[in-house]
Amino acid sequence: MKTVISKKNPIIPRMGVCDPHMHVFEGKVWLYTSHDTSIENKTYSMTDWQIWSSADCVEWQLEATIHPEDTFVGATDKCWAVDCAERNGKYYYYFSIGNKQTGVLVGDSPAGPFRDVLGKPLLDGTLTTTREYDPAVFRDDDGAYYLVFGAPSWCYGEGCGYYIARLNEDMISFAEQPRAIALDHMGDDKASLNKIGGKYYLSYGGFYAISDSVYGPYKFTGHTGASIDHTSYCEWNGQLFNAITVEECSNYYRSSGLCYVHVRENGELVTDPLIVEYGVGRYDADWNRIEAEWYMKGTNVQKRENTGMPGFSVICDKKATLVYPKVRNLAGKSVIEIVGMCNGSGTVELHQGSEDGPLLGSICLKGSSKPYAWNRRNKGVMQPDVALPDEADLCIVLKPDANSSVSIDYFHFY
């Protein structure tokens, strides 16, 4: 089994792993990807599909390679984008054959092995007027599953666009005729569908649009703010992530990256450009600041955009935890400064490992007694009670007092 550890994005460098869809299955993160065959590619040449997994979003393992020869397709260099879903203990793997058709495989685990149960395309190019490829599968809160597919009209002409159809419980047939998605913006490449904060988000390329209904209409909202393509969103351990395709060597030899995503009150999505470069789950005590919203695991917290200054803060009104794994270059650091706000009073604790791990230090915070005034900025300085190792998992525990709330903007070491 091939294992890759990268110090920054892309997460699986120089291997042509692209077009990722991120899902959480069986307690791990899984990436379902296409695969550019060679750095020498002069066009899209993709002869298989790959499945990768990770327990921490830093160390990645190649779990399986799916070969078109094992499907109705046969040998081809048109192994385009894929996606996967779990239902009733089975895993359904949807795959593109170039920009023409979509097939489906079924397996008993996130890594397969998968079998071609239809022996023919699920979408053969005749159900709609669009190009029936680049599938994305979406599960709604009521348990219904939908398949989104299609291509932008600017690329393939009149009649093209994105389509959606609800799947039957067997996941290999449709419960309805696919219908066109109304979108008030020119489409751009592969579409994905997610639900964030009760709203439906249709993402396509680096753009996204929002709707109150799974079928639309979708109103164009913006761009994630990074030069990225083929995006998909996923929540894991209380954090929202964006799996992206980045151009590594050329447009025909690409890679995958992961970023944190933050949501403004109006529903707009923000991807921190620093994380597009650094990647997730990476921290260095020598940095001038570590943003609080870059946590890899959070409980009982919300992210809120700062007022009058850039970035986001993490806020809670009851006990909450934030975990930052494998913080590097801690040795010799004697002070941690935590910058945030306190409405009322509370305590911030720093633990090694988890909230049950050794207590390294604590800060008592005092702020305004007026609820939600947010008119005092706190700089809590903590001197750890024990010497820090060079690398450690750190857990910040926020403990607001009754009728109080605490937020953290960022922290740094010296």
End-to-end CA distance of the chain: 40
Q: What is the CB-side half-sphere exposure of residue 181 using CA atoms within 13 A?
A: 38
Angstrom distance (rounded) from CA 82 to CA 193: 14
The reply to whether omega before 217 is within 30° of 0 (cis) is yes
The answer to which of 5-9, 165-169, 302-306 has the lowest mean pLDDT is 5-9
Name the residue with tokens 């959480």: 24
Q: How confident is the model at residue 378 (pLDDT cuts 50, 70, 90)?
A: low
Shortest CA distance to 301 belongs to which of 285, 282, 320, 286? Answer: 320
Residue type, 401: D
Q: Give per-residue pLDDT as tens, 193-229.
A: 999 999 999 999 889 999 999 999 999 998 876 556 6
pLDDT of 250 strictly over 80? yes
Q: Give per-residue pLDDT as tens, 131-179.
A: 999 999 999 999 999 999 998 877 777 889 999 999 999 999 999 999 9
Let me know: does 298 contact 322? Beta carbons within 8 Å: yes
Q: Give per-residue pLDDT as tens, 320-344.
A: 999 999 999 999 988 888 888 888 8
For the chain, domains (ranges, CATH) are: 3-278 (2.115.10.20), 284-413 (2.60.120.260)
Q: Give per-residue pLDDT as tens, 85-144.
A: 999 999 999 999 999 999 999 999 999 999 999 999 999 999 999 999 999 999 999 999
The answer to which of 20-24, 76-80, 185-189, 193-197 has the lowest mean pLDDT is 185-189
- Judged by phi (left if over 0) then psi (alpha if -120 to 50, else beta), residue 58 lies in alpha
Residue 327's pLDDT is 96
Let me know: does 100 contact 80? Beta carbons within 8 Å: no
DSSP 68-84: GGGSSS-S-SBEEEEEE
Q: How confident is the model at residue 6 (pLDDT cuts 50, 70, 90)?
A: confident
Angstrom distance (rounded) from CA 268 to CA 223: 9
Q: How confident is the model at residue 375 (pLDDT cuts 50, 70, 90)?
A: very low
Sorted by sequence, the CB contacts under 8 Å of residue 369 that are 6+ apart come out as 344
Angstrom distance (rounded) from CA 145 to CA 10: 30
Q: Which residue has the higher pLDDT, 1 or 32?
A: 32
